[in-house]
Structure 1
Amino acid sequence: MTQPLVLYSVEDRIATISLNRPEKRNALNPELVALLTERFLEAAGDEQVKVVILKAEGETFSAGADLAYLQQLQQNTYEENLQDSQNLRTLFSTIYHLPKVVIAQVEGHAIAGGCGLANVCDFVFAVPEANFGYTEVKLGFVPAIVSCFLIRKINENLARRILLTGELFNAHQALDYGLINFVTKKEDIHQNARNFALNLCGSASLNSLGVTKELLGKTTNAGLEKSLDLAVGINARVRESEDFKKGIASFLHKEKINW
């Protein structure tokens, strides 16, 4: 029996949403993006849910966009790529604005869109072995949508370093950068994240948590939606570039890219 791409369960007022595409390193394709969005909206409307934990099955949290799928998109029209980019924006915005606290439990590498997925959550727990990074420029792509959220977490100087170099960095560096909140051993991360969630469930008002998230979103990120409008267009446009086609093909064929 085929397992669903997204697992969903609720216990003790905590909804657990798990990416379940380990054979593809939990890479984001349209079906996975759509199902994640649905599950988060389900958690938002569930009166029995107060906190959400986002995690992943397998050894990788998420490798970002499914590059094989992106190669197929090269036959798409600009309008089709625009809609695909809009769907990714919807997922990230849904998590970011969810009226319930979202905790990312990162037990493997979180790269490119996978790094963005973790960083739109309210809190991030990660194992020391996890690597983070936005590698899009190395593939001829652009970290468009994810950059809109990243720049609201860290200063511009650091954002330029992370986005323009495409370098990977470990969990302790991510902690120093302010991208994650806790580094914890693999054998402890599940219980630590759960204890953190349980403490929020018992110590804070659901309404207050939701309104506080809304307040922070509206007062500190007044220009976010305009930035995302621009990013979605850039995302779609870059998919038509020769550098993007070259980068994706080289990666899939495991060939060194000479820029």
Structure 2
Amino acid sequence: MEFSLLIYEVANRVATITLNRPEKRNALNGALVAELQQAFTLAGADDAVKVIVLKGKGEAFCAGADLEYLQQLQKNTYEDNLADSQALLSLMQQIYQHDKVVIAQVEGHAIAGGCGLVTICDLSFAVPEALMGYTEVRIGFIPALVSVFLVRKIGEGRARELLLTGKLVAAEKAAQHGLITAVIPAESIAAHVAKVAEGLCTEASAHSLKVTKLLVGSVLDMPLENALEMAAKMNASTREHADCKQGIQAFLNKEKPIW
């Protein structure tokens, strides 16, 4: 599949999706959102892919919506804007609920919608220089879709602080809030992300990763009794899966399973 606004590569069971609008600070528009959906669909359907890395080319990870795109939105009807919002909703839901682990490699600022992309990834690593935040309220807009995911991720109090002030925070503060996984020096972030991805590929069952993601993403919305019932059923069904049988047999034989 050909892409014009991103780069899609697969190596060592890792699909790397690179936002490729460095001259626009990898800002989002309708075309890039559509290409991201296509790329994540492609990675999801590829049995040779186990982990996905999302990053940006150039100085910024993603600066949010681009100016031309924002200008066009002002001319849209409500129906046009709803359709556009639903396209972004589909992308964010696709990444959040993806069968495969998604890692954000943040080597530059992640602002507004760009920070939204970081929010919905399973793991995220950022360089110390990266600033992150949701600046929508400062231009009379709202951080609508990302608010749903951010509250789930870091709690209502921290989410209110970031979303209402619109302030940018340094990577270290973002890590303290739980927004990102860790801060990694620029000279070693690529190697660190590659090592984490390799560990997921070689040390964990693809089925186990998929089901664990589903469980974590589902139980928060359930009453405790329902969540525990779902967990028990998943536990039982996973015991019958070939990966579990292989892993237990390898453990009993004091061998390392090959995932």
The interval holding the TM-score normalised by the smaller chain is: 0.7 to 0.9
Which residue in 2 is equivalent to 1:118?
118
Superimposed CA distance per residue, residues 42-86 of structure 1 (whole angstroms, 9 cap, x where no aligned partner): 101100000000011010000111232121121111111000000
Which residue in 2 is equivalent to 1:205?
205
- Comparing 22-31 and 64-73, the one that deviates more: 64-73
In 2, distance between residues paired with 1:87 and 1:97?
15
Which residue in 2 is equivalent to 1:194?
194
In 2, distance between residues paired with 1:59 and 1:165?
25
**Gap runs ≥5 in structure 2:** 224-259
In 2, distance between residues paired with 1:9 and 1:221?
35
In 2, distance between residues paired with 1:150 and 1:205?
28
TM-score, normalising length from structure 2?
A: 0.84
Paired residues for 1:141-152 under 5 Å = 141-152=141-152
Check the 8 A contact 1:152/1:221 in 2, yes or no.
no
Which residue in 2 is equivalent to 1:37?
37
Count of residue pairs brought into register by the alignment: 222
Which residue in 1 is equivalent to 2:109?
109
Instruction: Give the aligned residue type for 1:63.
Output: A
Instruction: Give 1:148 shift.
Output: 0.6
Instruction: Give the aligned residue type for 2:21.
Output: R
Which residue in 2 is equivalent to 1:135?
135
Instruction: Give 1:222 shift.
Output: 5.3
The alignment-based identity, stated in percent, is: 57
Check the 8 A contact 2:36/2:91 in 1, yes or no.
yes
Instruction: Give the aligned residue type for 2:155.
Output: N
Q: 1:221 to 1:122 in 2, by over 3 A?
A: farther
In 2, distance between residues paired with 1:94 and 1:22?
24
Which residue in 2 is equivalent to 1:253?
none
Which residue in 2 is equivalent to 1:250?
none
SS of residue paired to 1:61: coil
Instruction: Give 1:154 shift.
Output: 1.0
Check the 8 A contact 1:126/1:171 in 2, yes or no.
yes
SS of residue paired to 1:150: helix
Paired residues for 1:1-259 under 5 Å = 4-221=4-221
**Gap runs ≥5 in structure 1:** 224-259
Larger relative contact order, structure 1 or 2 (CA cutoff 8 Å, min sep 6): 1
Instruction: Give 1:221 shift.
Output: 3.9
Instruction: Give 1:91 shift.
Output: 0.7
Superimposed CA distance per residue, residues 130-168 of structure 1 (whole angstroms, 9 cap, x where no aligned partner): 000000000000000011110001121111111111011
TM-score, normalising length from structure 1?
A: 0.84
In 2, distance between residues paired with 1:26 and 1:184?
21
Which structure has the greater CA radius of gyration? 2
Instruction: Give 1:218 shift.
Output: 1.4
Instruction: Give 1:116 shift.
Output: 0.6
- Runs in 1 of length 4+ with deviation above 2 angstroms? none
Which residue in 2 is equivalent to 1:248?
none
